[in-house]
Amino acid sequence: MRALRKLGPGSGFDLVDIPIPEVGPDEVLIEVRATSICGTDLHIYEWNPWAADHVSPPITVGHELTGVVVDRGANVTEPEIGQLVSAESHVVCNICAWCRTGQGHLCPKTQILGVHRDGAYAEYVVVPAQNAWPDPPNMPLSVASLQENFGNAVHTATVPSVAGRKVLVTGSGPVGAMAIAVAKALGARAVYATDISDYRLDLATTMGADRTINPLREDVAAVIDEATDGEGVDVLLEMSGAPSALEAGFASLKPGGEAALLGLTSEKFPFDIDDNIIFKGATVYGIVGRRLWQTWLEMRGLIRSGAVDLAPVITHRFSLDDYEKAFKLMQSGECGKVIMFPDPTYADGPLS
Amino acid sequence: MRALRKLGPGSGFDLVDIPIPEVGPDEVLIEVRATSICGTDLHIYEWNPWAADHVSPPITVGHELTGVVVDRGANVTEPEIGQLVSAESHVVCNICAWCRTGQGHLCPKTQILGVHRDGAYAEYVVVPAQNAWPDPPNMPLSVASLQENFGNAVHTATVPSVAGRKVLVTGSGPVGAMAIAVAKALGARAVYATDISDYRLDLATTMGADRTINPLREDVAAVIDEATDGEGVDVLLEMSGAPSALEAGFASLKPGGEAALLGLTSEKFPFDIDDNIIFKGATVYGIVGRRLWQTWLEMRGLIRSGAVDLAPVITHRFSLDDYEKAFKLMQSGECGKVIMFPDPTYADGPLS
Amino acid sequence: MRALRKLGPGSGFDLVDIPIPEVGPDEVLIEVRATSICGTDLHIYEWNPWAADHVSPPITVGHELTGVVVDRGANVTEPEIGQLVSAESHVVCNICAWCRTGQGHLCPKTQILGVHRDGAYAEYVVVPAQNAWPDPPNMPLSVASLQENFGNAVHTATVPSVAGRKVLVTGSGPVGAMAIAVAKALGARAVYATDISDYRLDLATTMGADRTINPLREDVAAVIDEATDGEGVDVLLEMSGAPSALEAGFASLKPGGEAALLGLTSEKFPFDIDDNIIFKGATVYGIVGRRLWQTWLEMRGLIRSGAVDLAPVITHRFSLDDYEKAFKLMQSGECGKVIMFPDPTYADGPLS
Amino acid sequence: MRALRKLGPGSGFDLVDIPIPEVGPDEVLIEVRATSICGTDLHIYEWNPWAADHVSPPITVGHELTGVVVDRGANVTEPEIGQLVSAESHVVCNICAWCRTGQGHLCPKTQILGVHRDGAYAEYVVVPAQNAWPDPPNMPLSVASLQENFGNAVHTATVPSVAGRKVLVTGSGPVGAMAIAVAKALGARAVYATDISDYRLDLATTMGADRTINPLREDVAAVIDEATDGEGVDVLLEMSGAPSALEAGFASLKPGGEAALLGLTSEKFPFDIDDNIIFKGATVYGIVGRRLWQTWLEMRGLIRSGAVDLAPVITHRFSLDDYEKAFKLMQSGECGKVIMFPDPTYADGPLS
């Protein structure tokens, strides 16, 4: 089969022929129909320091996908062969105290698809049966593929309480944009969104932001102060990992407010714990992955009911063969979610 | 009356004669029986940068006290004249959204006794009637005085859930030592305590710590790792404000753990939000003051039932006239709580 | 002034002339602009057993109102004279453990306007200053008046978590209808509503119910079973107090679901605690009054932002002089909220 | 092997020879070392209406056990053969929304050992591998066996917050007695316990109750009223299922209190929802089984740390051959937990 792989240290990927992977007793083999690109994949493509530290080539990349189950191991009772599934990319141990108590997203033995084991940028991928999440047959493939990433947004927006609250989303890339839609669907009174890219602020508006703020042109805390009668927002959803966004976000948070942090800062930076957390009496939540499987159930409800429409987040589609064009576009930042199709006849929209 | 005052910028205090303060319509006049020293008072004594920024001399210092109500304003219906009371040092507005919803500790208009208005190092002090907390007549005066400070410990130890959990307390000064006792009283399975002072680690042991760790001699995270079978503690109570303690504390926290931060770091420092909060899926609480009045009710229960014995925290007693000796002792760090008596005939133990 | 009073045991009211009430030092005198009728007022009108047990004539009735502050006691600093205010009808002690901890709605010394002290069906009413809730000048008077009652709906719908959930509201009278609107505004995925009156089910639909069920014609549990793929609803909001509604509501609740109970059953009835609560692992909340003052702040947000429109609930307006017509209409059940105007020139819609 | 079975409708059991059960691919075969008797087993022995409705003979009875793994299916990777294990008696589906979100105790497909599938009163029993909970080698067998039942107590006492609170336990049979010990270990300020049996009240005292109340001799609500200065208890743990205990328990609960209900009432009874739940603003939790696997982890911590000592609850030991004597003793009520040993050489105390 064809697979997009990182063959060794250094930038770039190679599209190569390798054998179809073998399926273990508790696993399923999925014929990939659509697979989407995440910022992490771009880091691996560019081979940044994080990638050099965490990824061991050779490996097939990619962790967001949808496809059809075509084979399964001896112990598997569901999903059925022929079932359309998306995949949870975190493979967990099921045995540790976290897995045993509904906190599998914190399993210390987590293996991530496309990072620690062969991933989804290929014609076929193998995942544990429990990681294969059944999708309804009428779900568009591009939407099905990005559920894994949507799950980050849902997790972030459901840990603090947003219903009836004023919410600031710092960082309006695809995950931030989806978090905006989730916050609105869950009853947020107002959602304010920041980004230094006007392209992304337009996306934020499309996804439901009541007010967008470009910190290159406006002072975030001042805008929030005016918009909230001097109180500040009830909830901060931090999706960017930029120190300046963290500063502006906490400065905009009201005393007693809640902050959920998803964006990775990648390195230590000077942080004012006194003003940002202690004097505020703030509650701060670190968010990683998706709650297994609470978040997937919540996603199902949000998508099936129509409460959240993910279509506007999907801006480009490519054949997997055109992966170079797809990753160049990702580098430009002038895009939302980018979907690749190993077999382009399954594309659910015009290819770029 | 005699009052210990900061008369202008610079170090030191002056014990001077000033008129007994007038009592407003919603206030009470308290004859001070005992008053205790807090780290904040030492900062004002030494006139550190924080003090220079926040305190406007001339002002009477001190915010921990107990005494007897000797006069009250026209609107006051309780406490009665003659009642022994302690004082909540945070004077709040009662009108803002925070005061209106049981979050008075976050009132943006908070005025602190001895910082923003005349305080307790005097023969008499005036506080709003609602800040005067009735004490039982048999409560030792030194214990009654330090309830305000004890409240910081109770607040910190009650926001996360410590019952049945393993708890790390970083910083074993008086507030940390009291937090140890609270955690044990509330059912903590094990309490580990750190400090760089062996004097304070002894105090920690006296107050119930199961294991003390001096980071000058042992690696905190390694000790915790072994003590918890590699899991980490469930709860971190950070009482020191030292960046090294924060680092060690978060390194010792288990995935999904809770951290309550009370100690002020006083300045920005390089902090690893990714490893400390996000990847851990940690929940972090900023703690300020005491919950009005939840914390005071909790204190009452802990003290009256005998679940917490504060006596070991009180190590020295002075006449207010000997304030210089008291503050020199505070500077040495070789003490727990230090109590001063405007009228030393009320001293409930031998004077130093 | 004119006041509608219960002069002694037995049915009916009398519209009589009495002196304008005197204002105490912590109170305000309000010139009533609009006052609305609650089921409790009807019970007092009809003098049912509950009323006979709880109300001591002679007393001015009514507890939902809006009006203008025209006088205030010596201690009052806000609201200002001339301010439009609504009123919290529960007068609490401010001193007990509940009042001291943001749980004033549970104050054991609660006195209710129009039940324990003279109420709002009059040209003037006196309330404690803290019970006078400032309204924006452009709020319609009929909406302003029914906030107290709206607060019951907000309280009920905010104790369980409705965001993203499927919610069943049993009883679609005015409070139930408002609860439907609140649940939708706070992100409920679907709201199902029951009532035996088709008039009220129409109101439920207007307020946002996705599906209405008349138990006289359909089996509630069967409808819910089908609508939720056999799972049951996540949340039950019980607004009727009817044993049959409680049975149907709990039968429709999913394992692990939450039930908030506001409707009073008025008497013991055979209840299956095993099936309804224990085997279900359900969490059940008793709801009384409004959280002081969390609920009022939540109401303000919901109304000002336009998230909830209360106008459809208001179906009839009367001059206070026509109170007999208003109460006869209430008895018929063919109405939503009924507003009375002591001075009908302030009516904000056509009078019936 | 020998197995104690219910062979058909009607009272009594038969000790018969049957084949050792076959182990499925995800199961383990356990050689039973100790097995304890629960009230449910007595119901099956006596063939009460509940048993007639839920149990389909022929079936091997018993669901509390400890033993050694002697065989395991092809898919099982842990526990190891030779491992001492106890068993969770609820066999759940792992697939439903409840199992997928840490709420396996609410799985609608639950099969209970000794009720729906062959149980533990035998030389061998088969359970799913995930139901076999590893025990430390030095745990007394009688303690290991009753963990399942202890889990009911831990679950009940950990859903409300008992730390620093006053707690009333209604019903001081073995589960109530263990709940008393758990509440004390988790920091309860005071625990009051009721029962109509003085034998059991003695057990309650042994397990840590601060005050016992026999409702045949004292008025429970009056005793609580006095003991709590008229406030009532913060938390009610209802372990009896007796309507009179529910009435007394709710009457003793303070406004805003929490009640956890474990005891089954077996039938509807007249319940005052207004006074017991609504006017109180109470929160009521239905408790079933053990949280999978949170409760087992909590048990491990409580037992290993020595915070709870279960030894006093174990009052009698029998050879399985003497089952008739054991069940007669259970009928008398003059016992705590009764343990039976299929091979009496493993008895960890004198046999009765």
Residues in Cβ contact with A205 at an 8 Å cutoff, skipping those fewer than 6 apart: A193, A212
Contacts for C38 with CB less than 8 Å, ≥ 6 apart: C63, C64, C149
Determine the average pLDDT of the residues in A3-31. 97
Q: Are C19 and C304 in contact (CB under 8 A)?
A: no
- Confirm or reject contact between C112 and chain D (CB < 8 A): no
How many whole angstroms separate alpha carbon B339 and alpha carbon B332? 16
Pairing of strands B233-238, B253-261: parallel
CA-based nearest residue to A127, from A233, A30, A262, A20: A30
> Nearest to residue B237, comparing CAs of B301, B184, B300?
B184
pLDDT at C114: 98
Q: In this prediction, does ipTM exceed 0.90? A: yes
Whether C245 and C177 have beta carbons less than 8 Å apart is answered as no
CA distance C206 to C188: 16
D189 CB neighbours in chain B (<8 A) are 301, 305, 307
Residue C159 in tokens: 């104790």
Give me the residue from D25, D97, D103 closest to A75, CB to CB: D25
Residue D321 and residue D298 in contact, taking contact as beta carbons nearer than 8 Å: no
- The alpha carbon of residue A127 and the mean position of all alpha carbons in its chain are separated, in whole angstroms, by 18
Bridge partners of residue D233, in order along the sequence: D253
D43 is catalytic: yes
Residues 6+ apart with CB under 8 A from A230: none
Which chain D residue shows the shortest CA-CA distance from B163? D186
C297–B103: do the CB atoms touch at under 8 Å?
no
d(CA C261, CA D108): 25
Asked if B112 contacts B94 with a C-beta cutoff of 8 angstroms, the reply is no
- C-alpha A99/C-alpha A97 separation (Å) is 6
**No. of helices (H) and no. of strands (E), chain D:** 11, 19
* Structure confidence at residue C18 (pLDDT): 98
Contact C163, C187 (CB under 8 A): yes
pLDDT at A209: 98
Please write the tens of the pLDDT for every residue from A122-145: 999 999 999 999 999 999 999 999
Q: Do D283 and C285 touch (CB under 8 A)?
A: yes
Touching D (3+ Cβ pairs <8 A), the chains are: A, B, C
Distance between A100 CA and the closest CA of chain D, angstroms: 5
Main-chain phi, psi angles of B32, to 5 degrees = -75, 125
Q: Mean pLDDT across the stretch B295-319?
A: 97
Secondary structure E strands in chain D: 2-6, 14-17, 27-36, 59-60, 64-72, 84-87, 90-91, 111-112, 124-128, 132-134, 166-170, 190-194, 211-213, 233-238, 253-261, 269-271, 283-286, 314-319, 337-341
CA atoms within 13 A on the CB side of D337: 28
pLDDT at C88: 98
Contacts of D158 in chain B (CB under 8 A): 164
Q: How confident is the model at residue A198 (pLDDT cuts 50, 70, 90)?
A: very high
> Rounded to whole angstroms, what are the CA distances from B244 to A271, B240, B248?
14, 10, 6
Two tokens, residue D63: 């669901």
Give Cβ neighbours of residue C110 (< 8 Å, ≥ 6 apart).
C90, C91, C92, C93, C289
D185 touches chain B (CB under 8 A): yes
User: Does residue C305 sit at the A interface (CB-CB below 8 Å)?
Assistant: yes
Nearest-angstrom CA–CA distance, B203 and B316: 14
Please give, rounded to a whole number of angstroms, the shortest distance from the CA of B180 to a CA of chain D. 13
pLDDT per position as a tens digit, B7-38 = 999 999 999 999 999 999 999 999 999 999 99
User: What pLDDT score was predicted for residue D107?
Assistant: 97
Long-range pairs for C321-326: beta carbons < 8 A, 24 or more residues apart: C321/C15, C322/C351, C322/C352, C323/C4, C323/C13, C323/C15, C323/C121, C325/C352, C326/C37, C326/C352
Whether the Cβ atoms of residue A278 and residue A250 lie closer than 8 Å to each other: no
- Which residues of chain C register pLDDT less than 50? none
C102: nearest CB among B75, B78, B101: B101
Nearest chain D residue to A294, by CA: D101
B323 to chain A, minimum CA–CA distance in Å? 30
User: What proportion of chain A, given as a percentage, has pLDDT over 70?
Assistant: 100
Contact D163, D186 (CB under 8 A): yes
Determine the residue of chain A that is closest to D79 in CA distance.
A95
C189 shares contact with chain A (CB less than 8 Å): yes
Cis bond upstream, residue D344 (ω within 30): no
Q: What value does the mean pLDDT take over residues B59-72? A: 98
pLDDT confidence band for B121 (50 / 70 / 90): very high
User: Cα distance from C165 to chain A (closest Cα, Å)?
Assistant: 9
Distance between CA B52 and CA B11 in Å, rounded?
10
For residues C250 and C276, the answer to whether their CB atoms sit within 8 Å is: yes
pLDDT tens-digit profile, chain D (352 residues): 999 999 999 999 999 999 999 999 999 999 999 999 999 999 999 999 999 999 999 999 999 999 999 999 999 999 999 999 999 999 999 989 999 999 999 999 999 999 999 999 999 999 999 999 999 999 999 999 999 999 999 999 999 999 999 999 999 999 999 999 999 999 999 999 999 999 999 999 999 999 999 999 999 999 999 999 999 999 999 999 999 999 999 999 999 999 999 999 988 999 999 999 999 999 999 999 999 999 999 999 999 999 999 999 999 999 999 999 999 999 999 999 999 999 999 999 999 9
CATH T-level topology, domain D153-286: Rossmann fold (3.40.50)
Q: Are C288 and C108 in contact (CB under 8 A)?
A: no
CATH superfamily of C2-146+310-346: Medium-chain alcohol dehydrogenases, catalytic domain (3.90.180.10)
Subunit contact C161:A158, Cβ cutoff 8 A: no
Buried b (16+ CB within 10 A) or exposed e, D133-151: bebeeebbbbbbbbbbbbb
What mean pLDDT comes out for the span A172-183?
Answer: 98
Q: What is the pLDDT of residue B158?
A: 98
Predicted pLDDT at D252? 98
Q: Please tell me the distance from the alpha carbon of residue A296 to that of residue C177, in angstroms, as a whole number.
A: 32
CB D217 within 8 A of CB D197: no
Token duo for residue D339: 């343990």
Contacts 24+ apart (CB under 8 A), B107-113: B108/A255, B110/B289, B112/B63, B113/B62, B113/B63, B113/B87, B113/B89
On whether the CB atoms of residues A107 and A96 are closer than 8 A, the answer is yes
Judge whether C43 is closer than 8 Å to chain D, CB to CB: no
List the 270-299 stretch of D: residues with Cβ below 8 A of C. 270-274, 277-288
Q: Tokens at residue A253, please? A: 């948070």
Tell me what pLDDT residue D198 has.
Answer: 96
Instruction: Pinpoint the alpha helices (H) of A98-210.
Output: 141-145, 147-158, 174-185, 198-206
**How large is the angle between the packed helices A294-304 and A147-158, nearest 10 degrees?**
100
Mutate to test the interface with D, among C112, C229, C231, C273 (most CBs of D within 10 A): C273
Specify the 3-state DSSP secondary structure of A177.
Answer: helix
Chain B residue at shortest CA distance from D184: B187
State the pLDDT at residue B231: 96
Tell me which residue of A87, A113, A124, A114 sits closest to A5, measured CA to CA.
A114
pLDDT in tens, B180-227: 999 999 999 999 999 999 999 999 999 999 999 999 999 999 999 999
CA distance D277 to chain B (A): 23
Q: How close A291 comes to chain D (CA, Å)?
A: 8
* Token pair in block for residue B63: 């915010």
Distance, CA of D70 to CA of D86 (rounded, Å): 13
Q: Structural domain boundaries of chain B?
A: 2-146+310-346, 153-286
Residues 6+ apart with CB under 8 A from B69: B28, B29, B30, B79, B80, B81, B82, B83, B85, B132
Residue A69: pLDDT band (50, 70, 90) is very high
Place of tokens 């939840």: B294
Q: What is the pLDDT of residue C306?
A: 95
pLDDT at D152: 98
Q: Strand, coil or helix: what is B220?
A: helix
Query: Would you say A177 and A200 are in contact if contact means Cβ atoms under 8 Å apart?
Result: yes
Q: Do A75 and D293 touch (CB under 8 A)?
A: no
Token pair belonging to D297: 């982890």
Q: Cβ of D226: how many Cβ atoms within 10 Å?
A: 9
Residue C41: name the closest of C348, C329, C262 by CA.
C329
- The catalytic residue among A35, A40, A156, A295 is A40
Which amino acid belongs to residue C49? P
Query: Which residue is it, tokens 């390694």?
Result: B222
Indicate the pLDDT class of residue A206, thresholds 50, 70 and 90.
Answer: very high
Q: Cα separation of B321 and B123, whole Å? A: 11
Distance from C-alpha of B153 to C-alpha of B175, rounded to nearest angstrom: 5
- Residue recorded with tokens 């506007």: A312
Which one of D268, D269, D292, D294 would you mutate to disrupt binding with C, by most C Cβ within 10 Å of its Cβ?
D268
The Cα–Cα gap between B336 and B332 comes to 11
As a whole number, mean pLDDT of residues B66-90 equals 97
Tell whether C187 is within 8 A of chain A (Cβ).
Answer: yes
Interval B145-160 mean pLDDT: 98
Buried residues in B197-234 as b, exposed as e (16+ CB within 10 A): beebbbbbbbbbbbebbbbeeeebbebbeebbeebbbb
Task: Please give the pLDDT value at position D244.
Answer: 97
pLDDT class of B255 with cuts at 50, 70, 90: very high
In chain D, residues with a C-beta closer than 8 Å to the C-beta of B305 are: 189-190
* Residue B121 to residue B114: CA distance in whole angstroms: 8
Contact present, C264 and C243 (Cβ < 8 Å):
no
